[in-house]
Structure 1
Amino acid sequence: MSTAPAEWPKVEAIIKEDGTGEVRIGGSIHPIQTGDLAAARAAAVEIVAGAAAKLGRNLRAAMSDPEGEWPLIIHADGTVEEADPGTAQEPGKEKPARRRKATPTVPAEVITSSQIPARKDTEPTPERKRPQSMEKPAIVPTKTETAPPTETPSGTPQQTRQSLKDTSFLVSAPVLEPATQGWRGTLSRLGFRMEPSAEELAEREDIRTVSQHWPGPRTVAVVNRKGGANKTPTVVMLSAILARYSGAATVAWDNNESQGTLGWRTEQGGHSNSVLDLIDSSQTLLSPSTNAAEIARFVHHQTSDKFDVLRSDENEEGDHEVTAEEVDIAHQVLTRYYRLIVMDSGNTARAANWRRMIHHTDQLVVPVTAIEDRAEAARLTLQTLESRGGHDAELAANAVVIVSESTDSKRSMSGEALKRAKAEAQRIADGFAPHVRSVVRIPYDPALVNGPIRYDSLQPATQRAWLGAAAAVARGF
């Protein structure tokens, strides 16, 4: 086999999000035209492997795509391994490592309380799986001492038998599934089992967290007494993610004292009923003879995101304000039919329905856009609850603050303006971190600005960030 230096010929692969790209081997260019990112990665590996076979030796390839840079060693026999980006040793001897862009792919979450279980941040060594020797059977005696052997009538020592209660054949260690994302996932699908990256392991842990079931119903209140703070999009996103992953019956309730906007940003069912209609029919809905399907007469099902919406009153005259007693009735009905209630709210912390909502709340969420007056309103909301003491103060201390980048159109913003917007979001997040349980940042996404909100319409980075936010909320259950 040739011992030519690893850097010759120079091999680069540039992959785009739409599945196109090119592989440059020396002076030749090989275009890639596929349908998606994963297929383009596989095509790039195949092109380089073909060149390695023709040359009869391994090739070092610098692979780059929207998720980062991945130095690989493509062997002449078609096998693939990751290479150390800092060395140019002889092919096949590189240490397995990886280089990524500075921009993180996980949401910037600040954990500030010991109530959140610690998570390992170490990344498994990205080596290919090699044949291993057979391990001993998983028979684990729990006793550390054994009785001395006894003498048989013939004088032969006989081992004292242990109880079957002290023996188990079950293997308790979980099986780590191979990588499914990025170049690691592509290589796993090509037959080279790769362990998941730290980012993928963090995402799996968030999915596990939001997929849990908990005993009894839970109520989440989304509050900020300033309008335009992203309350309604937050309610929709949390409801969608928790409903999708946990499968728990979930309802988003617009608890505005008069008329809210949750119904405008979500699908409407085949009726126009609101919370007032549900309250009027509460005796029937709470009757033991009423079946669960009857609740569909009063809520509006979200067909793709799998949760229901209880709309606020949309009376054109606007002559009714929800009372504390009506909140109690509606909450009693909903806890019979749903395991999770996510409540939108108005802007008046002094309103009777707002204060009664807090009484029923198990987890507080405070959304804020990266604008100083929204952040100040969020701070005052938390301060108000803290000053009331008891249950209200407890909610404030264990709140989850969700900081979204400005919803202003970014098409007209310069690179410097975008940088300032991100810096402002980080400043606000850092300011809240010492006072609450968790802070999560959400990137700008045009799909959240206008019209009906759908989880599937969000960009992948936004979906990932909202998954992190939902996991932070679920840890409070």
Structure 2
Amino acid sequence: MGTTPTEVMAFPNIRAIVRDNGTAEVVVAGNSRIVPAGDSVQELRNNALALIVGEAQTLQRPVRVRIEDPEGHGELIVHPDNKIESVSYEPVPARRRAEAPETTRAAVAPAIIETAPAVEPAAAPVTAASVDARPWPSAYATATPEPQTAAAVEEAAPTRRSLKETSFLVSAPVLEPATQGWRGTLTRLGLRMDPSEEELTEREDVRTVSQHWPGPRTIAVVNRKGGANKTPTVVMLSAILARYSGAATVAWDNNESQGTLGWRTEKGAHDRSVLDLIDASTDLLSPSTNAAEIAKFVHHQTADKFDVLRSDENEEGDHEVTAEEVDIAHQVLTRYYRLVVMDSGNTARAANWRRMIDHTNQLVVPVTAIEDRAEAARLTLQTLESRGGHDAELARNAVVIVSESTDAKRSMSGEALKRAKDEAQRIADGFAPFVRAVVRIPYDPALVNGPIRYEALQPATQRAWLAAAAAVAAGF
């Protein structure tokens, strides 16, 4: 016995839209889900119906669906057991169709046409194939099909497929319900809601930074101007990539003399630096050396889960790291770590700076929203581009991170804050045509002075840095 339309709730509002440009979407309570692509309009219909059956199974009741496609529009009732009923269907007049069929389908009067439920529907996952035999609108049309000739029947006979071409696995990932905002609140109250576009974007960023890649990767954070936010950028990228991916991560202060990374991070129970690691490189590279020995030379960040290799802190500051020493340190670190994030000095001509670039897989150029820092970033990229080869490729695929001015204060007037944001946007827009990605970071006092901790940042700043880390990881 069929379900009368009045017995089926109109909530949530569901629409299935199939377009003649080869795209389709299912909109549930205002939340759009992109339908997997198909080779035809009919296959798009099948894929859309598969999503709707899944929604009915989630709600454990029939759902009412408005359908729209190039051939017409109408209303269906879709059941959890794969049964689909037509309430109404009205074809588009032939003159309005881009490619009208040979026989115009008659409008379907508001009536219910039942299809047989699948055997043991709960035991099989919902896929496009499970609704393949029930396209709309043809499955619900009342027009009597024209008799087919024997030749036509023979031509339409199905071709036997190989088992190698068939799979019962569902390739599409299951969409988890919303956890954030009012959608998350409704989900916790028992009404399953799909995540918002913002939450889906955040999930994608988390997925990107959580992946493991084959072999070690080296990130160089560069800007020839001091005060451009290089060290905070190194700390934040290291923290986020280590937290989400679980990959062994080290932040290396590759300043040619004395850097400040050690001042902005947690200090371990020793005073060793990169020079001590270089001196011990023979032992550290020995096959018999235990992996835990690296802890003698790096400073672990207990909350943010990465290590720091400090620059030489000799008070006289008379040692400048050479290119050969960069090679040795990099060889040691890539034996013990999957990810190396390198801080840098301000001299692009220095031997250690240039050798760092030779080892780099992904370039990051931080800049504060101050014009001289932005100009220094531009010149840094220009220098690398002019060198050609690997250096130029790094420049073209760089990620520029624009932070709102650290000179900003909470006490700034609304107009002054707006000007600061506008300046950050102007600089971001200026870099966008020349690099792979540009990410903006809001002002946060936790990044200005003292040790930097991820948990100390405001939620909006954490979210922005996650987007920055995802842009960097996408280049791996």
Correspondence for 1:195: 194
Letter matched to residue 134 of structure 1: D
Q: CA RMSD in A?
A: 2.6
- In the alignment, structure 1 residue 133 sits paired with structure 2 residue 84: no
Give the partner amino acid of 2:298: V
Q: How does 1:86-97 map to 2 (within 5 A)?
A: 96-97=29-30
1:399 aligned partner:
398
Aligned match of 1:262: 261
Q: Per-residue deviation at 1:163?
A: 5.9
Whether 2:185 is the aligned partner of 1:181: answer no
SS in 1 for 2:342: strand
Amino acid at match of 1:172: S
Q: Deviations over 1:287-320 (max 9, x none)?
A: 0000100000000000010000000000001110
- Residue type at the aligned position of 1:194: M
Alignment partner, residue 7 of structure 1:
none
Determine the structure 2 residue equivalent to 1:366: 365
The equivalences for 1:273-422 within 5 A come to: 273-422=272-421
1:290, 1:370 → 2: CA distance? 46
SS of 2:226 mapped into structure 1 = coil
Match of 2:91 in 1: none
Partner deviation per Cα, 1:68-114 (whole Å, 9 max, x = no partner): xxxxxxxxxxxx989xxxxxxxxxxxx9459xxxxxxxxxxxxxxxx
Match of 2:152 in 1: none
Question: Residue deviations 1:211-241, cap 9 Å, x none?
Answer: 1110110000000000000000000000000
- Deviation for aligned residue 1:408: 1.5
Distance 1:81 1:273 in 2: 62
Counterpart of 1:133, as a letter, is: P
Measure the CA separation in 2 of the matches of 1:172 and 1:305: 34
Q: Is the 8 A contact 1:235 1:344 kept in 2?
A: yes
Q: 1:161 to 1:414 in 2, by over 3 A?
A: closer
2:182 is paired with a residue whose SS is helix
The corresponding residue for 2:430 is 431
Find the structure with the greater CA-based Rg. Answer: 2
The amino acid of 1:459's aligned partner reads Q
Deviation per CA, 1:314-335: give whole Å up to 9, x if none. Answer: 0001110000000000000001
Give secondary structure in 1 for the equivalent of 2:288. Answer: coil
SS across alignment from 2:231: helix
8 Å contact from structure 2 (residues 402, 438) kept in 1: yes
SS of the aligned residue for 2:252 comes to strand
Aligned to 1:215: 214
- Deviation string for 1:389-430 (max 9, x for gaps)? 110000000000000000124223100000000000000000
Contact 1:399–1:438 under 8 Å retained in 2: yes
Inter-partner Cα distance in structure 1 for 2:332 and 2:462: 31
Between the aligned partners of 2:197 and 2:467, the Cα distance in structure 1 is: 14
3-state secondary structure, aligned to 2:440: strand
**Hey, what's the Cα distance between the residues in 2 that align with 1:425 and 1:162?**
58
SS in 1 for 2:468: helix
User: 1:149 maps to what in 2?
Assistant: none
Rounded to whole Å, the distance in 1 between the matches of 2:353 and 2:160 is 67
For residue 227 of structure 1, give the secondary structure of its aligned residue in structure 2: coil
Which residue of structure 2 aligns with residue 72 of structure 1?
none
Residues 140 and 168 of structure 1 are in contact (CA less than 8 Å); yes or no, is this contact kept in structure 2? Answer: no
Is contact 1:403-1:428 (8 Å) kept? yes
Separation in structure 1 between the aligned mates of residue 189 and residue 275 of structure 2, nearest angstrom? 57
Report the more deviating stretch, 186-195 or 163-172.
163-172
CA distance in 2, matches of 1:349, 1:162: 62
- The 8 Å contact of residues 240 and 455 in structure 1, kept in 2 or not, is answered as yes
Determine whether 1:450 maps to 2:397: no
Q: Check the 8 A contact 1:445/1:458 in 2, yes or no.
A: yes
User: Per the alignment, in what secondary structure is the counterpart of residue 343 of structure 1?
Assistant: strand
Matched with 1:459 is 458
* Distance (Å, rounded) in 2 between the aligned partners of 1:461 and 1:332: 37
1:174 is displaced (CA, Å) by: 1.0
Contact 1:385 1:392 in 2 (8 A): yes
| 2:251 maps to 1:252 | yes
Higher helix share: 2
8 Å contact from structure 2 (residues 408, 417) kept in 1:
no
Cross-structure match for 1:66: none
SS in 2 for 1:342: strand
Aligned counterparts of 1:384 and 1:205: Cα–Cα separation in 2: 34
Residue 54 of structure 1 is matched in structure 2 by none
- Determine the structure 2 residue equivalent to 1:230: 229
The AA in structure 1 aligned to 2:220 is A
Counterpart for residue 18 of structure 2 = none
Equivalence map 1:71-86=2 (5 Å)? none
Q: Can you list the C-alpha shifts for 1:27-83, whole angstroms capped at 9, x where unaligned?
A: xxxxxxxxxxxxxxxxxxxxxxxxxxxxxxxxxxxxxxxxxxxxxxxxxxxxx989x
**Secondary structure at the counterpart of residue 386 of structure 1:** helix
Letter in 2 for 1:467: L
Report the TM-score when normalising by structure 1.
0.69
Deviation by residue 1:351-373 (Cα, 9 ceiling, x = unmatched):
00000000000000000000000
Separation in 2 of the partners of 1:473 and 1:166? 37
Q: Distance in 2 between matches of 1:239 and 1:406?
A: 22
TM-score by length of 2: 0.69
Residue segments in structure 1 that go unaligned for 5+ positions in a row: 1-79, 83-94, 99-123, 145-158
Contact 2:408/2:443 (<8 A) preserved: no
Question: Highest relative contact order (Cα 8 Å, sep 6+), 1 or 2?
Answer: 1
- Secondary structure at the aligned position of 2:329 is classed as helix
> May I ask how many residue pairs the two structures share in their alignment?
345
What does 1:8-87 correspond to in 2, within 5 Å? none
Unaligned stretches of 5+ residues in structure 2: 1-10, 14-27, 32-50, 62-78, 83-117, 119-123, 133-157
Per-residue deviation at 1:168? 2.8
CA displacement at 1:171 relative to structure 2: 1.8
Cα distance in structure 2, aligned partners of 1:453 and 1:385: 30
Q: Secondary structure at the match of 2:312?
A: coil
Deviations 1:160-186 (A, max 9, x none): 997654543322221100000000001
Q: C-alpha separation between the residues in 2 aligned to 1:393 and 1:464? A: 30
CA contact (8 A) 1:359 1:391 kept: yes
Q: Does 1:170 align with 2:169?
A: yes
Q: Secondary structure at the match of 2:327?
A: helix
CA distance in 2, matches of 1:385, 1:304: 35
